[in-house]
Structure 1
Amino acid sequence: MIRDKATVCRVIHCVADLIASKSDMFIRWPDQAEQDRTKAAFRDVAGFPCVIGLIDGTHVRVMKPSKEQERRFINRKGFPSINMMAVCDETGKFMSINAVWPGSAHDSFVFKPSALGVHLETQHRGLEDGILLGDSGYACARYLLTPFRTADTDRKAAYNRAHCRTRVIVESTFGRWKRRFGILHGEVRLVPEKASKIIMACAVLHNIAIILGEPEVEGDEVGLDGNVGQQFIGRETGFHTREYIVQQYF
């Protein structure tokens, strides 16, 4: 029996590694034509312009790591986790994934050094390249717009409403993803390094399910924990872009 369990574990890990290795095929940044379509689709949701993706983080519980790593992986809710950053489109398909950071990492810290964060910081030219929408856990930047903490005008209030109605798609996506793969809702009983592969494999399969039009998994709503992190406090560079959007579109 023990030998059989060991064989099953090896097979599961081999399959997960193989699926995760296909991430570049199924989790990729959209080309220009796809970005134009996505902008139009997001605008139809709540009138928010130029959006090419929604960014957020969600915590996936993992097995308690070694004492040397434990402190890094304990999040603000007191359990060990991986803080997975994801960007999705209007259908809930993942466009970018980062599933290696420990649960103690702030959302903005996960994003900034990521390949996507570096690319946008160095290559983003303006609204023609599109923008991401994120919550207040991220820095407001010329390529990533956050809500106003104080909406003291009607236009800012309208902006915040449209931002919220649009961004809720990524929160819903995490719920759908965790319902489809129950292991993500409970605990991935693996050390963080191996758990990251399982998370990536589930993300690949999620996108394949959307591409193939697979039906949603029915069940109770899965509690989301994307707001485990704190609000961003630091340098923000997107105020002018945000004000321009408010004045031109709201």
Structure 2
Amino acid sequence: MTSNSLTPDNRRAELKNPPLARVLAQVRWPDLTAFDLDQVVARIVDDLGSVYPFKREETEFEVVVNQSGGVQEQSRGRIVRFFSGDERWSLAVGLNFIALESTDYTNHGDFVARLLAGLDIVNECATIPRFSRIGYRYTNRIVGQTDLSSLEEHFVPAVLGGHSVSPRRADLVHSMTESVYRVESSFLLVRSARLGEGQSIDPTLSPVDEPSWILDLDAYEEGRLDSERGAVQTQLYRLSGIASNHFGDVVTERFYERYDQ
């Protein structure tokens, strides 16, 4: 722990070279009797088209296990993704969710404001009595042989997995550690992974063409969640704090020294 008065999120935001690969937040709701995705898309184009001038349509799938034990992918409908001009920001909307993703994250307040702007449009187009899940996720990625060999100086053993117990005269090729913590009514999924070139822990995270180490912090709340704007904003701040505070617990002062260069 650090005695610095800054919160972990602020300390990380002030770093000159933070290893933050992307930030993702999502709000989900149950199936609605009436939801016009085309109307939502048209409103986003009208209201936020200057912020997100590009768009792409995709298909959302869910994995279903049938009676014989087989696994099938079933379509849940369209997803429309909007991208900023530099494609570092994307806003996605589907029948059951809205999500914001950024590879150019600077601070929590700006990020939440952008997500709420999209959510305001959804709420103007549809009546959503409650939400079912709100999540806030930070994905950190370390690359380069020098930094990969210094992980034990920058992170505590709890998140290093195979790095802290590698056999003698052995090179670690792949390792993955996953933990789920309950924090009051919320959960925090923590995953760390040593990956080879071209590998990723998640299909939504593009791989890199070199070995890497990932620290993924996904804080989320599930259940019958209040859909009022202020309540959602409060949840997003709370979830961000859960993930950020844990990040502060698993990095060392040497980490801040390294990534403030």
Structure 1 length normalisation: TM-score? 0.25
Structure 2 length normalisation: TM-score? 0.24
Higher strand proportion: 2
Structure (1 or 2) with the larger CA radius of gyration: 2
